[in-house]
Chains A and B, each alone.
Chain A
Amino acid sequence: MATAVLVSQGVRLLIMTREESKTEKTDKSKLKGDVTAEEEAIQAAEKDAHSALSPTMRIGGQAFHSVKKIYYKLLAGRLSQLQEQVINQDHELSELTHDVGQLAAQVRQMNRLLEGFEQRLTRLEEQRQNEHLEEGPD
């Protein structure tokens, strides 16, 4: 249960960190104004490098990305399944605790009843003994 919570929390924190860094980046570029010439040069170099790759390698890169997407989708699906399970187990635990609470209350009352019976029996025994003594030995 705790693992699922932690995993889910981890994924969310990751998303959060990414979103935060995205916002940071946007803020920075806003501060600087337009993209500098240096950055433009880097981007152009990256483009050249990409076009220099063989077609197979390019297809391989795209395939890797789509596999990654599918993997994340499956992971998210599995996590929500686990989440559902955790929630259901949590509810079951509550119902069981309630039942145990009921049983405990019943046991307490049973003990009280037994105590009462024992006291009555003791009184009856004493009464009988007294009657026996009053009647005298046969």
Chain B
Amino acid sequence: MTTNGDLVFSSKNRPLNLAFFSPLPPAKTGIVDYSLELLPYLAEQAQVTVFITGPTIVPAQLIGSVNILSTRVYPERRWQYDMSLYQMGNDGQNHEAIYRLALKYPGIVVFHDLTLHQFIADATIGQNDHASYAQEFGYASGSKGYDQAWDIRLGLEQKPEYELMLNNRLMDRSLGLIVHSEFAARKLRNYRSDRPIQVVPKPQSFVKGRSRRVKLGIEPKTVVFASVGGESRQFLDKALAAFSRLLKVNPDVFYLIVGGGPSEFKLNRLIHRNPIRKAIKHTGHIDSQQDFSDLLATSDVVLDLRDPIHGETSGSAMGAMAAGKPLIVFDYGWYKELPDDVCLKVDPADSESLFQAMLTLASDEEKRVTMGLAARNYIGDRHQPRHSAKTYSSFIRAVINNLAQAV
């Protein structure tokens, strides 16, 4: 009770007891990395039990700080926890059980992707259950949606994966929502302004790596541009076209493609047919975090050209900033929220502005260094895992105390 007689549930003195639903290793997803960054710090703010759906290798940083249980025991134990946190993504294998529990036992849902269309399609059409897919369409956009789903079945329409997000049911049932960016929060508020929504910056530790220039045969003074992660083929084509122009103006540049592309075979063909292939290196799929960090350390500028249509925050852009590298990004979605001193934003439809951005950073070393430092500082100020954990904790308390108003 407060002095004025209002009921307050969650006292700051009593630690929160949280149920946290997330995949953990050996699963390899961005959400696993996210949870591993966040959990040690969240465990400083609350008692945390992580509920897992399959066999797990408990990472060293979690031993002793959190309890780990199977999702199967959650229903009988659920009364012990002040709140449940569901980490939701589009990977059907890792999130199906989490989704079902989130619908049945409402809690706070963390939307890593805004659209769940791919997830719903896998869970329904993927199991030969078109009726349930149509039901989700009906839920999202009424009878029209229902008919649309059957038109898709008849092959008369394409799946509207990005237009119809199919996240409404989960939003309607949730007690609160967490997203990574204002862009995502705005989209969710458009649908349900009455649900508590909190932006929690994605936790990101600093990335330390060793340059592999000697191993790759790259001269120290060469400016290395890098594309990291699964960019779409279309955007990689654009980037390489701009790079090809740049090479004519400034021959002391190199292009590093880190990680598997949208299609390894097509990507290799694209590079081998390219007349500037000597200035390009494709690393192929990267498995270890150390390799990833080292290749980031090798680069001078990172191009993160993707259309964040799922409403996600780019992990590779975050990694690049954490490694102190300036970015070239599209002026769209979450990227718009990045400060102008850490990246150059280009219009997705304008090839010339992409070329100009590459030219500017290739020829101005001081700018590269200044922007890289600003990027690192930005990560330090805004994305430190401890800061994210504190925001989580205060939001959960606020949601719980809001419930007290309803008593």
Contacts and interface: CB of A to CB of B under 8 A. Distances in A.
Interface stretch (A32-40, A54-62, A90-98): A90-98
Interface string B392-407: 0000000010011011
Contact of B403 (A19, A84, A109, A113): A109
B79 A108 contact: yes
Interface stretch (B133-141, B179-187, B340-348): B133-141
B346 to A, nearest CB: 41
Contacts of B146: 8, 83, 87
B172 A91 contact: yes
Given A87-B138, A90-B135, A112-B14, A101 B82 contact: no
B105 A104 contact: yes
A81 to B, nearest CB: 9
A16 B153 CA distance: 9
Nearest to B399: A105
B377 interface: no
A95 B169 CA distance: 9
Please classify the interface of chain A as helix (H, G, I), strand (E, B), loop, or mixed, using the class held by over half of its residues: helix
Given A105-B175, A109-B9, A9 B130 contact: yes
B334 to A, nearest CB: 28
Nearest to A16: B154
A43 interface: no
B284 interface: no
Contacts of B204: none
Interface in B136-189: 138-139, 142-143, 146, 150, 153-154, 169, 172-175
Contacts of B82: 105, 108-109, 112
B19 to A, nearest CB: 11
Chain B interface category by residue count = 35 or more
B357 interface: no
A102 B175 contact: yes
B106 interface: yes
Given A9-B130, A87-B139, A108 B175 contact: no
A83 B106 contact: no
A112 B15 CA distance: 12
A106 interface: yes
Interface in B62-93: 78-79, 81-83
A96 to B, nearest CB: 9
B328 to A, nearest CB: 42
10 contacts: A9-B130, A9-B134, A9-B150, A87-B146, A91-B172, A94-B173, A102-B175, A106-B9, A108-B79, A112-B14
Given A90-B135, A106-B403, 4 more contacts: A9-B150, A83-B146, A91-B139, A97-B173
> Which 6 A-B pairs give the minimum distances between C-beta atoms?
A101-B106, A109-B9, A94-B172, A87-B138, A5-B131, A12-B150
